[in-house]
Amino acid sequence: MTTNARNAKDAAPHAPLLAVRGVTLQYKTKEHLVTATYRVDFDVHRSDRFILLGPSGCGKSTLLKAVGGYLKPIEGDIRLKGETVTRPGPDRMMVFQEFDQLLPWRTVKENVMFPLQASGRLQRKAAEEKALEYIAKVNLTPFADSFPHTLSGGMKQRVAIARGMAMEPDILLMDEPFAALDALTRRKMQDELLALWEGTRFTVLFVTHSIPEAIKVGSRILLLSPHPGQVKAELDSLPRDANGADVTALEQRIHAMLFADAVEEQRAPEVVS
């Protein structure tokens, strides 16, 4: 297929929002050139809750960073609404795993307002209204004027999510946003995220290494094998009201696929080109 034909296809009504085609990613450490992913393909459609799932070393975070524009693929391309991704931008808001992603010198409200103003999208007044609206959505209205260092980890992540959503990006990129939380807070945050999604139907690309989290949060799951990351499978997740037996069955099926990789990994040496 020529590039033009592909462009035409991407612009069609049912074209995917995000198209990742044959993406190979490499990064340099001090001694090695590491291939993080090898010829990965997937499509994310509007209102998908798309999960990148895999063990550590499968390049899922690297892949997310490439979609974020922080990293250039050495092969293949990443297109958002038909446009090749070349650098970071506010149309792809990131929610990071780290708690230190909020600007410490700004209050909760100012943190949410900042990207709205910095990108020139809204004036101060409108940005403030929008920020308060999304802070209310994550139930943090009483803390709007607090500084981040006074919040708990879960609250900081909720601010980061509000900040990402307030920008109303084409796609929200989440890099294991709940991984550093305790188990109880984590479950609560997953429920809140789903409730938020019910309200606005935003598109989200979500990286995790937890199978239960992938099944619970995701609507579609991309399974990656490690060293280097390659697409193993792309599955539909289960609806939220699925019965426990189905969830367990899917969990075991995914676990078996990942476990098969672990055995393979012992035979094949690490790919370093």
Partner 1 sequence: MSRVMEAPPARPEVLREPVSSSAFGIVEKPLSAWERITNVGALRKVALLVILAVVWEVYARSLDNALLFPTFTATVAAFFKGLFGGDLFAKAITSLRVLLMGYAAGIACAALLTIVAITSRIGTDLLELLTSMFNPLPAIALLPLALIWFGLGAGSIVFVIIHSVLWAVALNTHSGFLSVSNTLRMVGRNYGLRGLPYVGRILIPAAFPSILTGLKIGWAFAWRTLIAAELVFGVSSGSGGLGWFIYENKNQLEIPNVFAGLFTVIVIGLLVENVIFRVVEARTVRKWGLQS
Strands 33-44 and 18-28: antiparallel
Site for partner 1 in 202-231 (CB under 8 A): none
Are 223 and 257 spatial neighbours (Cβ–Cβ below 8 Å)? Answer: yes
Which of 108, 113, 107, 136 is closest to 125 using CA atoms? 113
Which of 206, 222, 231, 257 is closest to 40 using CA atoms? 231
Is 184 one of the binding residues for partner 1 (CB under 8 A)?
Answer: no
Site for partner 1 in 39-78 (CB under 8 A): 68, 70
What tokens does 191 get?
A: 């429920």
Which of 67, 9, 7 is closest to 42 using CA atoms? 67
Closer Cβ to partner 1, 55 or 89, answer by number: 89
What tokens does 176 get?
A: 């294991």
Q: Locate tokens 């409730």: which residue? A: 195
Is 27 one of the binding residues for partner 1 (CB under 8 A)?
Answer: no
Minimum distance, C-beta of residue 261 to partner 1, in the bound complex (Å): 29
Which SS3 state, helix, strand or coil, does residue 21 take? strand
Closer Cβ to partner 1, 117 or 219, answer by number: 117
The stretch among 11-19, 88-96, 215-223, 265-273 that binds partner 1 (CB under 8 A) is 88-96
Minimum distance, C-beta of residue 89 to partner 1, in the bound complex (Å): 5
Binds partner 1 (CB under 8 A): choice among 3, 4, 14, 105:
105
- Strand locations in 2-90, DSSP E? 18-28, 33-44, 49-53, 75-80, 83-84
Instruction: Provide the 8-state DSSP code for 270.
Output: P
Binds partner 1 (CB under 8 A): choice among 86, 119, 139, 152:
119
CA 44 from centroid of its chain's CA atoms = 11
Binds partner 1 (CB under 8 A): choice among 54, 115, 154, 229:
115
Closer Cβ to partner 1, 180 or 257, answer by number: 180
Closer Cβ to partner 1, 119 or 123, answer by number: 119
Return residues touching partner 1 (CB under 8 A). Answer: 68, 70, 87-90, 92-94, 96, 98, 100-101, 103-105, 114-115, 118-119, 147-150
